[in-house]
Chain A
Amino acid sequence: MTSSPRPANLFFLPRVLGQRLCVYHGPASDKAPLAALVFVHACGEEMNKSRHMVALQARALSRAGCAVLTIDLLGCGDSSGDLQDASWSDWLADIEAACNWMTEHLPQTPIWLWGQRAGALLASAVAQRRTRPTHLLLWQPLVSGKPQVQQLLRMKAAAGLGAGMPAGEAITDIKQALAQGGAVEIGGYTWPAALMQALESAMLERPVAPGRVAWIEVSNRPDPSLAPTSSKLLETWRGLGAEVDSRAVRGPAFWQTTELEVAPELLSATVSAVLQAPGLTA
């Protein structure tokens, strides 16, 4: 059955330090939704560059009979506060609040945490501490926050290239400032030291049974495959009994391309992965 998706409902969820912008996409049909997904966005510019893909995906999932809730975390997007006010635990609490909203709204529906890039780190941390089974849908997940922090520090250094500031020096300065507990401005966002440190030490948490994992990466190679770090981690997880559906699809790295790009194969692979997960009732 293909009905046109219902319009998305935009609302503000009252939270600590203000409110968070949320967008809810209900399932297109009048039947009970197959899955309730809470989207956990990526960092900074990656979040902005991914918005259109996330919207397309939410609508595709809605057409397929799923419910989707997106939330802008504290200090991000259109939610209250500046990044400077945010902590890692604030973000985890925001995500849990979003899950609770979904559960109150759709008590019988399996909950999925859909995390993209650094959002996957947060999603897996929340899934681990929830008492109800929580499935994970991971888009291009970061296995650790370290590369994200390295990227951010490099961005700061790259911004100074025009002014002739040597990058090595710039990065050393920033690391010193962070070690002293100061905040760092990078690309218009002010990162508090504690948040940067939490991101750097974050690791993707092992899934908790009976939660399932759908892991999808996008690659522009003709023969796409998962990143070596991903394959290695998944081997460990599967060895411990985790049920993981992992896929690599062809498409552009839309979260970081200069122009807005679309990855249609990711859209269909994601719907397929969510619908194929055993245990979902039709």
Chain B
Amino acid sequence: MQQINVFAELLAVLDEVLSLGGRSAAFDRQTPLLGAVPELDSMAVVTLIGGLEERFGITVDDDDIDGATFASVGTLADFVAAKLNT
């Protein structure tokens, strides 16, 4: 899957999980997530992980769940892209 598709698919997952109603279209790589988006509580993080697993067919290991991974849309997109390339 190419980088640009990962980004678009990621925005779709974020939109669903955080009930953004299409507002994810305004996100770019720099958009901060964990700590910046109040809706992203523990349950939302877990739902997001599940959504990524389902959408991209990847498995998120316990050790992957890291503050740095969820810091921004860009770090999350890179994480998914890396998983897809392994």
> How many residues from A make CB contacts under 8 Å with B?
26
Bound-complex Cα distance A129 to B62 (A): 37
> Contact string, A116-132, partner B, CB cutoff 8 A, digits 1/0?
00000000000000000
The answer to the question of B49 belonging to the interface, with a C-beta cut-off of 8 Å to chain A, is yes
B-contacting residues, A100-149, CB 8 Å: none
In the assembled complex, how far is the CB of residue A231 from the closest CB belonging to chain B, in whole angstroms? Answer: 15
Q: Size range of the interface on B?
A: 20 to 34
> A256–B43 contact, CB under 8 A?
yes
B66 to chain A: which residues have CB within 8 Å?
Answer: 161, 166-167
> B19–A261 contact, CB under 8 A?
yes
Q: A252-B16, A261-B19 are in contact. Are A161 and B46 (CB under 8 A)?
A: no
> Contact string, A30-59, partner B, CB cutoff 8 A, digits 1/0?
000000000000000100000000000000
The answer to the question of B78 belonging to the interface, with a C-beta cut-off of 8 Å to chain A, is no
Q: Which residue of B lies closest to A152 (CB)?
A: B46
> Contact string, B55-69, partner A, CB cutoff 8 A, digits 1/0?
000000111111100
Bound-complex Cα distance A159 to B62 (A): 13
Bound-complex Cα distance A45 to B42 (A): 11
In the assembled complex, how far is the CB of residue A250 from the closest CB belonging to chain B, in whole angstroms? Answer: 13
A257 to chain B: which residues have CB within 8 Å?
Answer: 16-17, 19, 47
Bound-complex Cα distance A161 to B62 (A): 12
**Can you name 19 extra interface pairs (CB under 8 A) apart from A161-B45, A220-B16, A252-B19?**
A154-B45, A154-B46, A154-B62, A155-B42, A155-B43, A155-B46, A157-B65, A158-B45, A158-B46, A161-B66, A162-B34, A162-B67, A167-B64, A168-B65, A171-B62, A187-B43, A256-B43, A257-B19, A258-B17
